[in-house]
Amino acid sequence: MTKLEREKVIHAYLGPSLPGADAAKIVPGLILHPPVIHGDLLIHDIAPGDVVVIVDGYYHQQTAVRHKEVLHLLKRGVMVIGASSMGALRAAELEPFGMIGCGWVFQQYRSGRIIADDAVALMHGPEPDYVPMSVPLVEIMFSTEKAVAQGLLDAEIGERACSLASNLHYTERSWRRLTDLLTQEGHRGHTGLFSKKISSPGVKGDDAVAALRLAAELRSSCSGKMAQPIQESVNQSSAHLAVWLREWKDSSGQGQRGRDKLFADWYRLTSPDAPAQWRSWVLKKLDEAPDEGAGLRQLAYAATSSETFLKSQKYLSDREIRTMTSDQLTELLLVRAFRHDHPDSTYVTYLADLVSRKYGPVSLAELANLEGGQGIFENETGIRRKWSLRRRGVDYVLHRAALDRGFDSLDDALSAQKQICQMVGPGDC
């Protein structure tokens, strides 16, 4: 079998809409992915002729999948089907360019009856179970419409239920909340009906099943053939797409998370503002958790009163100990000892966004020459030039400098420098 005649692979991006085990029963050999985010379609091993089914996707916790990413796959001859949630939304927007929509939710977006992105959103637990904690607006609309058609619900109450639900934030939508609001307005005869909906099959799940079955049919009917690449009727490329393709390659297959880490590390290693940013972030986090913060402050204060601890110089220098007050030393120790297994994942994202806002759509390598053409490890304070000059043993001066920039240790900073050097070339290191 030649490369062009190989069996098509079906990729599915699934989360709360349909359990992965159920999807695997529908499509033998299915490759399952978590809900899609920006960059996934560029880093996963998707070849021309494959079929991609987008069902679920993040847009609040992570950057949503971009339209140009879907167009990039279509241009390469990949079939892309969308349904249920993020997939339905993108399919309604990109159907004129070759993306295939499927199911009731897609039809609502396509017709313009639904226009809000959050109509498909819901709050849910972590993978792999994605336990739902709210009800998406599309489910409320579909269920009430069906109940009215079957004579189980008055049309006026059904319309009012959808109106009330649409005015709630997506995290607050639930059958119980909807029942309470309708009851407060004096409506009756709906409580039992709505309470049963909590465990009933959802329209998003039905649409996901239909999309997977369609993907299996297309794979069978077009076996050995690639999808016809879409015509250049629109500009499917852009400066942003070119940067994304470079960055996903740079991120060692880790997608947006890996890219965010690289940009955050670049900022921490090079920016003179990095220590102040880290200090501000840590103190803010301690203020947001006053009980925990108070406990950590007590531990830090006790440590600064220990001669054995102070002599180690791992966290505080002799000069700092001589010239700073107890309160200042306590705060400095808190900042330097604050670890990334605290809520630091959001700090990495925050720094990556900060770099993006400042420099725009550039690659990591291009950042090296944006500040007056100097390499990214050029020294301003007398510290950064020494990142790669670590001597045998622990250099506590550099170790404290690493802690001040939000790294866990000097080894953590050196590892970040090494990875960035591999990306931008040794001439910039």
Amino acid code (one letter) for 98: G
In this prediction, residue 366 carries a pLDDT of: 64
What's the pLDDT tens digit per position in 388-401?
444 434 467 888 88
> How many Cβ atoms are within 10 Å of 110's Cβ, its own excluded?
15
Of 318, 291, 96, 88, give the one whose Cα is nearest residue 208. Answer: 88
Reply yes or no: is the peptide bond before residue 343 cis, omega within 30 of 0.
no
Q: Give the burial string for 330-356 (b: 16+ CB within 10 Å, else e).
A: bbbbbbbebeeeeebeebbbebbebbe
In this prediction, residue 103 carries a pLDDT of: 96
pLDDT reading at 109 higher than 90: yes
In this prediction, residue 185 carries a pLDDT of: 85
CB 76 within 8 A of CB 52: no
Map tokens 């920016």 to a residue.
271
Q: What is the DSSP string of 301-368?
A: HHHHT-HHHHHH-SS--HHHHHHS-HHHHHHHHHHHH--TTTT-HHHHHHHHHHHHHHH-S--HHHHT
pLDDT band for position 251 (cuts 50, 70, 90)? very low
In this prediction, residue 368 carries a pLDDT of: 56
Q: What percent of the chain stands above pLDDT 90?
A: 25
Question: How far apart are alpha carbons 45 and 31 in whole angstroms?
Answer: 10
Eight-class DSSP state of 172: G
Question: How far apart are alpha carbons 177 and 123 in whole angstroms?
Answer: 14
**209 vs 37, 84, 156, 354, 398, CA distance in Å?**
21, 9, 31, 40, 56
In this prediction, residue 98 carries a pLDDT of: 92
CB 332 within 8 A of CB 339: no
What's the pLDDT tens digit per position in 320-359?
888 988 888 888 888 888 765 433 457 777 787 787 777 7
In this prediction, residue 201 carries a pLDDT of: 54
pLDDT band for position 140 (cuts 50, 70, 90)? very high
Q: Give the angle 399-405-407 at the CA atoms, nearest 5°.
A: 65
pLDDT reading at 290 higher than 80: no
pLDDT band for position 32 (cuts 50, 70, 90)? very high
Question: How far apart are alpha carbons 424 and 122 in whole angstroms?
Answer: 40
Question: How far apart are alpha carbons 39 and 260 in whole angstroms?
Answer: 11
Q: Give the burial string for 276-312 (b: 16+ CB within 10 Å, else e).
A: ebbbebbeebbeeeeeebeebbeebbebbeeeeebee
In this prediction, residue 53 carries a pLDDT of: 97
What's the pLDDT tens digit per position in 215-227?
999 887 765 444 5
CB 332 within 8 A of CB 310: no
Question: How far apart are alpha carbons 310 and 290 in whole angstroms?
Answer: 26
Length of the chain: 429
In this prediction, residue 194 carries a pLDDT of: 62
Which range is least confidently modeled, 68-77, 158-167, 189-198, 309-318? 189-198
Instruction: Read off the pLDDT of each residue in 44-62 and give the average, rounded to a whole number.
Output: 87
In this prediction, residue 367 carries a pLDDT of: 62
Residue 54 phi/psi, 5-degree rounding, is -100, 115
The structure's pTM equals 0.58
Of 295, 277, 286, give the one whose Cα is nearest residue 407. Answer: 277
pLDDT reading at 88 higher than 80: yes
3-state per-residue secondary structure call for 119-171: HHCCCECCCCCCCECCCCHHHHHHHHHHHHHCCCCCHHHHHHHHHHHHCCCHH
Instruction: Read off the pLDDT of each residue in 118-125 and give the average, rounded to a whole number.
Output: 88
